[in-house]
Amino acid sequence: MFENLSQNINQALRTLKGKGRITDVNVAATLKEVRKALLDADVNFKVAKSVTDTIKEKALGQKILIAVEPGQMLVKIVSDELTELMGGQKVDINTKGDPAVVLMSGLQGSGKTTFSGKLALYLKKQGRNVLLTACDVYRPAAIDQLKVLGEQIGVDVYAEPENKNPVQIAQNAIKHAKATGKKIVIVDTAGRLAVDEEMMREIEAVKKAIQPTETLFVVDSMTGQDAVNTAKAFNDRINFDGVVLTKLDGDTRGGAALSIKAVVDKPIKFIGTSEKMDGIDVFYPDRMASRILG
């Protein structure tokens, strides 16, 4: 995860790490390299500039030039700023409600169905009574995929294979949950290969009808700036509550993780780290920053 970014940033900082004394010229040169590492990681250009400008301001403001270990101090400032950039604190999903309703949104292939299963298992392990709901009315295979996952993790799946109306299916699923004592309904929706008006209208309609306690936007982190642009398009339309970054296990660059919060101002809440049902982690910005700085 983020190997290239980690290597480039550490290389940029290494030149200063051991030095007893540094100058503002050293700091500027190092931060230029840090910015380059961020751009190579496919971090949004404005974000990369703004974060390195802030690091520079803080470094000089904290009298780093006369510090005993200026290199270490700079590493700490970089770590703090990367943490802030990724949201600062971890933010939990809201699962209060009777039942709580979690709506999934995102493009086809982003990992929505897989993540729906992962989240169901994660909540089940916490003792919650979960119902998965298949609202992808375009691909019969999507319903089967969710059913297979449900069976694998021991969670019930609600589906209406003959019904082509996702709003009705979602509403019926919530009724079914109430009748059967389920406390959390996870609604998996249909995606498209790219952002299109019909998909947006559909997800908007489902959201309006079921008033979810939590709307998550699921995106493939390996798509870098495309992930950020897609997040913006979805957020503008459905005002989601949090982001799920999937496939971090294959992402060597980390551009989406580092830019998404700054661009859409919504927290990353979970990450996907494998194809398996236990490949889910809560997103901790500080742990991710430490990981990048190795």
Q: Footprint of ligand GDP on this chain (CB under 6 A)?
A: 106, 108-114, 191, 246-247, 249-250, 272-275, 279
Distance CA 228, CA 256 (A): 6
d(CA 83, CA 43): 14
Residue 112 annotated as binding site: yes
The answer to whether 247 is annotated as binding is yes
Would the annotation count 164 as a binding residue? no
Minimum Å gap between C-beta 139 and ligand GDP is 8
Annotated binding residue 248: yes
Residue type, 212: P
* Residue 246 assigned ligand-binding role: yes
Q: Residue number with the shortest CB distance to ligand GDP?
A: 272
Q: How far is the CB of 120 from ligand GDP (least distance, A)?
A: 13
Q: How far is the CB of 20 from ligand GDP (least distance, A)?
A: 44
Q: How far is the CB of 254 from ligand GDP (least distance, A)?
A: 14
Identify which of residues 246 and 259 has a Cβ nearer to ligand GDP in the complex: 246
Residue 5 or 271 with smaller CB distance to ligand GDP:
271
Q: Please tell me the distance from the alpha carbon of residue 180 to that of residue 24, in angstroms, as a whole number.
A: 66
User: 247 or 266: whose CB is closer to ligand GDP?
Assistant: 247
Residue nearer to ligand GDP on the CB measure, 24 or 278: 278
Judge whether 252 is annotated as a binding position.
no
Smallest gap from residue 230 Cβ to ligand GDP (A): 12
Cβ closer to ligand GDP: 272 or 285? 272
The binding site for GTP comprises 106-113, 188-192, 246-249
The binding site comprises 106-113, 188-192, 246-249
